[in-house]
Structure 1
Amino acid sequence: MNEKLHEIKKMLQEDGYKLTPQREATVRILLEKDKEHLSAEDIYMLVKDKAPDIGLATVYRTLELLSELRIVHKLNFGDGVARYEITSDDEGHHHHHIVCLECGKLEEFEDDLLEEIEKRIESTKNFQIVDHRLSFFGYCKDCKDKPKSERPKMKIE
């Protein structure tokens, strides 16, 4: 974790920013919870334990800055809540997500099956792809067998 934190500090400095104690506390939470998809409010509640003087607005500003600098990915799964995760070390590509429309469970999958499509787009459209995002929406193993009448009509934005 310290190596990744040092890397992030360097990235901030290259763009003229400092790794303030508030930013460091936020980044540490994201690194510690790297398999979770935390909202700004989730992060705030966890950061508050480490830095009691931090405010929710500071966490939001920090997340927006980190997102602009591509240190974190800001994710939207159609439920109106932005979630955040540290950008992976893989240049340009990262994992994808499956989202349960009933319980909201979120899972990651690593298979990147889009390489051929990317190559085709790049060659036919003369477009350099640097990243992509893919999410699948449906029902998890716990929710898929419930009768359709019991399933909420979750709207995907």
Structure 2
Amino acid sequence: MTIDDRALAFETALRRAGVRITRQRAALLRVLAATHDHPDATMLHARANEAGAGVSLATVYRTLSELESQGMINKVEFEGEPARFELADQRHHDHMIDVDTGEVMEFFNDRIEKLQAEIAAEMGYEIVRHRLDLYVRKLS
């Protein structure tokens, strides 16, 4: 999905929820649509304002909350960090969080996925959904 397509999908979801699309909010949606990392609300606020949006932090929070309730973005919370957000239209992945820098890295590993399914099956369950966060430190 292109940035324009994603921004339009965000806008459509917000309109469906009765949210007015102002120039500032449209600029914020475009910034959010272009993300490839896991920004928190203050990061998105700064990026949108760097792009000339002039959006308030309250608008950022309200917009993120509504997009989350519409299933367009996911809120992810890592220990000791403010809530971060990622696009909901991505394929499943897990996270590694560098405890020294706060950097969040996405990864997918077939062996881990298979092992989790095997463990659940051995205990008489199937996995409906899961999330794996690894807190890591660079080896010296």
TM-score, structure 2 length as denominator?
0.76
* Residue ranges of structure 2 left out of the alignment (5+ in a row): none
Query: 2:96, 2:76 → 1: CA distance?
Result: 12
Structure 2 residue aligned with 1:108, among 96, 106, 109?
106
Counterparts in 2 of 1:54-133, with a 5 A limit?
Answer: 54-90=55-91, 94-111=92-109, 113-114=112-113, 117=116, 120=120, 124=124, 129=128, 131-133=129-131
Amino acid at match of 2:66: L
Query: 1:115, 1:26 → 2: CA distance?
Result: 38
Question: Quick check: 1:3 aligned with 2:19?
Answer: no
What is the RMSD computed on CA atoms of the aligned residues? 2.7
Provide the secondary structure at the position in 2 that maps to 1:98.
strand
Deviation at 1:79, TM superposition (A): 1.6
Structure 2 residue aligned with 1:26, among 3, 25, 28?
28
Aligned to 1:153: none
Query: Is the contact made by 1:71 and 1:86 (CA closer than 8 Å) also made in structure 2?
Result: yes
Provide the secondary structure at the position in 2 that maps to 1:114.
helix
Provide the secondary structure at the position in 2 that maps to 1:85.
strand
* Residue ranges of structure 1 left out of the alignment (5+ in a row): 146-157
TM-score, structure 1 length as denominator?
0.69
Change (3 A) 1:102 1:69: same
Amino acid at match of 1:138: V
Superposed CA deviations along residues 32-60 of structure 1, whole A, max 9, x for unmatched, are: 222x11110010011123311x2111101
Query: 1:9, 1:46 → 2: CA distance?
Result: 18
Aligned to 2:46: 45
Amino acid at match of 1:104: G
Query: Is the contact made by 1:9 and 1:19 (CA closer than 8 Å) also made in structure 2?
Result: no
Provide the secondary structure at the position in 2 that maps to 1:5.
helix
Amino acid at match of 1:114: E
Q: How many residues align?
A: 133
